[in-house]
Amino acid sequence: MPALAAVRAANAAFSPSYFPVAVFVGGTSGIGRACAEAFARYTKGNAHIVIVGRNKSAADEIIASFPTPTKPEAKHEFVSCDVFLMRNIQATTASLRERLPKINFLVLSPGLLNMHGRDETAEGIDKRLGLHYYARWKFVYDLLPLVRKAKDAGEDAKVMSVLAAGHGGPVNLDDLGMKKSYNLAKAGLTSPTYTDLMFEHYTKEIPDIAFIHAWPGMVATPLVLATHWALRPLNYLIKAIARAPEDCAEYVLYGLFQTEKGFSRRNENGDDIGNSKHYGSDEDRERVWEHSKEEIDRALAVKID
């Protein structure tokens, strides 16, 4: 486990010879926000940084805090997208494909914490599974051609999902969409496993691009901290045992920068954990891939008034 100071030093050494383009999905809050801010700091603002999310006022505040770039091609922008719906993602990715020349770093971290049972969007996808897996699958699937362009230019080409590497569970091939049997525990174990299998599928097809699944550990983000007045005293305990988003972002970026190619599973300290607590067979991997594509196509076909 590298010390935080060592991680910061390693990240500070990031000095690409090319002009980087980075997209942060879920970058208006929590870990995603901290990662976007750290990336801007390490590039001294000299990058094209795209923050995708719903909160424009938060994005404006984040972008205003970025270092003033010295390169004229630098650009910092917010793209509004409610990623609960696959059709919104499809519209957003289509726009990005039209105007971005490439993507060097695609970082996905949208999250949802609720205590409800299955809660479907208008497209029929459970909101928790949607944000943690299907939405990310769609972004990667649609934007991978831009990541490929970066690699073909001899540059960094990396995709990261900040979720829960090493914290998955077995695959139920009889209920891949969790529509027959759903509970919060199963949902929490399913998305990490599906993420591993998605990235393994890509690695077999595109071995020269880096795919990273990161577990951030317990982090004192707005998603975790209580907002109800009666629960606010718990925040003192959470902050005492959890990492600050800014420190977490250092370890997340460390895993991002250190992975050159192939599939890497990283723990909260940025260490590669290999196949530790890995679930899923070759058959599971391909079945989950086909299910994911079919489920998203089905969602896109749903008519919404």
> Sign of dihedral through CA atoms 50, 51, 55, 57?
negative
Contacts of 107 (CB under 8 A, 6+ apart): 22, 23, 24, 25, 27, 32, 35, 160, 162, 252, 256
Q: What string of DSSP letters covers 220-239?
A: --TTTS--STTTTTHHHHHH
The conformation of residue 124, written as its DSSP 8-state character, comes to S
CA 176 to chain centre: 21
Query: Could you give the number of structural domains in the chain?
Result: 1
Q: Which residue(s) pair with 126 in the sheet?
A: 120
Specify the pLDDT at position 235: 55
User: For 46, phi and psi rounded to 5 degrees?
Assistant: -90, 70
Give the pLDDT confidence score for residue 74 in this predicted structure: 97
For 274, phi and psi rounded to 5 degrees? 60, -135
Residues 6 or more apart whose CB falls under 8 angstroms from that of 77 comprise 48, 49, 50, 51, 63
How far is residue 40's CA from residue 20's CA, in Å, rounded to a whole number? 11
pLDDT, residue 98, reads 97
pLDDT at 162: 97
DSSP for residue 219: B
3-state secondary structure of 8: helix
**CATH code (residue 291):** 3.40.50.720
Q: pLDDT at position 233, please?
A: 59
CA distance 79 to 51: 6
What pLDDT does residue 144 have?
A: 98
- Is 78 inside any structural domain? yes
CA distances from 297 to 48, 85, 294 (A): 31, 12, 5
Question: What is the three-class DSSP state of 49?
Answer: strand
The C-alpha R_g of the chain, in whole angstroms, comes to: 18
Using DSSP's 3-state secondary structure scheme, residue 200 falls into: helix
Q: Is 120 helix (H, G, I), strand (E, B) or coil?
A: strand
Report pLDDT for 219. 83
Cα–Cα distance, 267 to 285 (Å, whole number): 22
Whether residue 155 lies inside any domain: the answer is yes
Q: Which domain holds residue 178?
A: 2-298
75: in domain: yes
272: left (phi over 0), alpha (psi -120 to 50) or beta: beta
Listed in sequence order, the residues at least 6 apart from 251 whose beta carbon sits closer than 8 Å to its beta carbon are: 4, 7, 216, 268, 269, 270
Instruction: Confirm if 265 and 162 have CB atoms less than 8 A apart.
Output: no
Q: Is residue 40 part of a domain?
A: yes
The first and second tokens of residue 50, run together, are: 């795209």
* 303 in any annotated domain: no
Instruction: Specify the residue for token string 């896109």.
Output: 300
Does 136 fall in a domain?
yes
For 179, residues 6+ apart whose C-beta sits below 8 A from its C-beta are 118
Q: Is residue 305 part of a domain?
A: no
- Contact predicate 261/274, CB 8 Å: no
If one counts every other C-beta atom within 10 angstroms of the C-beta of residue 74, the result is 20
Examine residue 304 and state whether it is found in any structural domain, yes or no: no
Q: Mean pLDDT per 10-residue run, the chain (305 residues)?
A: 90 96 95 96 97 95 96 96 97 98 97 77 94 97 98 98 96 92 86 98 97 90 51 57 87 96 96 95 96 97 89
